[in-house]
Amino acid sequence: MTKQPITNLNNHFEKILKYWSVIETLNPQGPSKITTDEYVRNYTVKADADSLPWNHTHEHQTVSVTERTKWVYTLYAGELSLTDSYATIVNAFQEFPSQNNNKSKETFSLFSVCVDHFGRLMSDSILISSYAWALGKIEESGKESYKDLDAFTDEEEHIQRDLKDFLNATFSANSMISSETNAQRKLSPEILEPVTPDQLFTLYNFLCDKLKLSRLKEDRTIMIRASMFSDESGAPDTSGLLNSFFLNDLQQLQEESKANNLSEAAMQYLAASIDTNTRIDIRQTSAAFMDVFTPDHYPRGCWPNTGNHPLVFSQQFAVNSFFKECLSKDGLFSVNGPPGTGKTTLLRDVIANVIVERACYLAQLETPSGAFKRSTIKKADGKESDIYELDSALHGFEIVVTSSNNAAVENITLEIPGIDAVDPSTLGNCDYFRPWAERLLKDKAWGMVAGRLGNKSNRDTFIKDFWLDLEVQDDQYINLSKAILDKKDDGKGFDGFLKAHSATIFGATADNDESTTSENQTKSWKDSVADFNQALATEHVFCKARQAVFEIYQKMIVLRSEYITLKRAMLQNPENEHNETTKRLSEIQAAIITFKETIPKDFDHTLVPHFIKQNNVDIDAQELSSPWMDQDWYQARVNVFQAALNLHKKFVLSNARIFRWNLRQF
């Protein structure tokens, strides 16, 4: 049965995104299962509790802490049965063929909120469970609720506005703080007003009503997780993790779809089907390799792998195909990489050439400051601030490594800057902010080309070790944002480095306009550009030499194909006259000999891909080969990458004041 084409793609995409949003909304989350240890304590409190873990009368206060160690409390309110809630959903949508086989004993929470070390509610930390919200909708409207179940993000905004008014009316100024302020600063006992059980359960009742789950007031329970942290580690992630990570992104995609503005990658991902007729089994035909392995289609830069080994056949095929298809347009590209087949090695070459491509744009700048124009942004506090906006031509080169396997991503982001990621011969030719990479890794590194981010703990660590190199001595500097604003650093971090370099470039007054860049600095920039362009030119010579040989082989392949066709025709019809055919066969043989003679005598024919030279290819031997690649061309491509990194470094140093200003604003 032939599939009918979808006539209204936008409507098709919207339906998929709506369904996906509903599924993510109906994705219950509860407190993560963390075993109680010296850093974590779990408590359950009811409405009639007489004390809470932050009160001096509570047993939790017997757990010893140091002067530089504090607690943060994450509260999970409500304990709803998953089995019962599943039954509610199945009953509402019973016209659909579904059964409730869930017998889980697990529960989910209504909302989460954080309380600081001194018992003050963090007013901006309240997270509402999308699942609880959806359950209230379903109980109220039954199957009719489906049309609104993708609207959680919009409705949550309205609830949060009402919640803000409620908090201001219920909690005093001294019992409530914002996580953006210096949350942990000590207050005198006379001022401090820790949150009480009555206040917490008043908040609980308010949200039960808002979410149309008033029946939950009968069994009011709050689970409190106390997590210890130190000044050195920064505050732990207190997000509560109640909802899917994708809800906001899906909401944005729905809006883009309605505006007919989905990216090509998104449309490919959401497409109804794949045209299998366009698929090629590359093991059955060498024609699939011909275009991809054209020397002109090799990336100009490559990674300096340990041992100076270029990528092997399938790795290079993937990299060449990716840049051929996706360098100048939006889209998706997939590579199947079983364990141990060199996916990280492949990614390094992708990273290297993305850096090279951006360097090509940098090299077009007359002066490094020409990449910026002064603009303004509105900050979180509503105030406007100056910002230096990057030229749009330099957008789109960002790289995010992400995975459903946290360990896999962590390995990549730690390995790429590591000393073992490059051949030792590289270290003398390229120093890309190496000291700061080593501070970040706490190990030997070669360049600051990747950082482990993601959760709050990783982000805080990055800020402390890379940006500030922060060694906090004062108890009040636990909030890193405040530490940055208060310039609480020793000058060793990248922030301090940029500050010092700004003074070197601009003189004693580092706040001068960028137009005061000295002639020497401009000359230095031009020298870096010249070095990069020279590396490109040298690589181009090696590439063109191989391209010329490829084109000769390409012509010989066409002739050989014609020769085989004519020979086969003669064998199939031996009684026919073949004078013209014989003449043409002789011409083809002569032409092939002539073409062979045009190949430079010193050319290494072992570089020619197996699929071009042989009819019956040894697959194993081909997989271990590096088509067209010898040490000369490989080294020229490595040199391009190194020159590109050096140009990037010169760009950062030449714009040290601008970089520091922009990053401090963020």
**Separation in Å, CA 147 to CA 22, 133, 250, 503:** 9, 14, 16, 59
DSSP tag of 426: G
**What is the structure's pLDDT at 187?**
54
Range list of H helices, 259-405: 264-270, 287-292, 313-326, 343-362
Report the candidate in 563, 558, 617, 605 with the shortest Cα–Cα distance to residue 285: 617
pLDDT for 512 equals 38
Is 464:480 a contact under the CB 8 Å cutoff? yes
Please write the tens of the pLDDT for every residue from 230-267.
655 555 555 556 788 889 999 999 999 999 999 888 99
Q: What is the C-alpha separation between 424 and 428, in angstroms, rounded?
A: 8
Alpha-carbon distance of 81 to 83, in angstroms, equals: 5
How far apart, in whole angstroms, are the C-alpha atoms of residue 62 and residue 632? 69
Each residue of 521-549: pLDDT tens digit? Answer: 666 899 999 999 999 999 999 999 999 99
pLDDT of residue 378: 82
For residue 457, count CB atoms less than 10 angstroms from its CB and return exposed for 0-12, middle for 13-18, buried for 19 or more.
middle
Reported as a single tens digit per residue, the pLDDT across 183-223 is: 445 555 567 789 999 999 999 999 999 999 888 877 788 99
Contact 266, 513 (CB under 8 A): no
Residues with Cβ within 8 Å of residue 66, at least 6 apart in sequence = 230
Segments in the chain below pLDDT 50: 1-6, 182-184, 472-479, 481, 488-489, 506-518
Continuous segment of H or E residues that includes residue 229: strand 221-230
Q: Looking at the whole model, is its pTM more than 0.75?
A: yes
Q: Residue 460 — φ and ψ, nearest 5°?
A: -60, -40
Any residues with CB less than 8 A from the CB of 1 and at least 6 apart, and which?
A: none
Q: Kindly state the helix (H) or strand (E) to which residue 579 belongs, with its residue range.
A: helix 579-598
Give whole-number Cα distances, 484 to 95, 278, 496, 665, in Å. 57, 54, 11, 10
Token digits of residue 247: 């809800």
* Helical (H) or strand (E) element with 70: strand 69-77
CA atoms of 498 and 511, how far apart (whole Å): 12
Query: How many H helices and E strands in the chain?
Result: 21, 11
Closest alpha carbon to 72 in 456, 453, 482: 456
Could you tell me the CA-to-CA distances from 91 to 85, 100, 580 in Å, in that order? 10, 9, 82
First to last CA, the chain: 55
CA distances from 195 to 173, 260, 449 (A): 11, 48, 45
CB atoms within 10 A of CB 622: 18
Query: Which amino acid belongs to residue 144?
Result: E
User: What pLDDT score was predicted for residue 243?
Assistant: 85
Chain-centre distance for alpha carbon 125: 25
- Which of 188, 89, 105 lies closest to 146 in space, CA to CA? 89
Q: Please state, in angstroms and rounded to a whole number, the distance separating the CA atoms of residues 588 and 322.
A: 36
**What pLDDT sits at residue 506?**
46
The pair of three-digit structure tokens given for residue 83, joined into one six-digit string:
């089995």
Sign (positive/negative) of CA torsion 415, 417, 422, 427?
negative
Segment 502-506 long-range contacts (CB within 8 Å, at least 24 positions apart): 502/656, 502/657, 502/660, 505/653, 505/654, 505/656, 505/657, 506/657
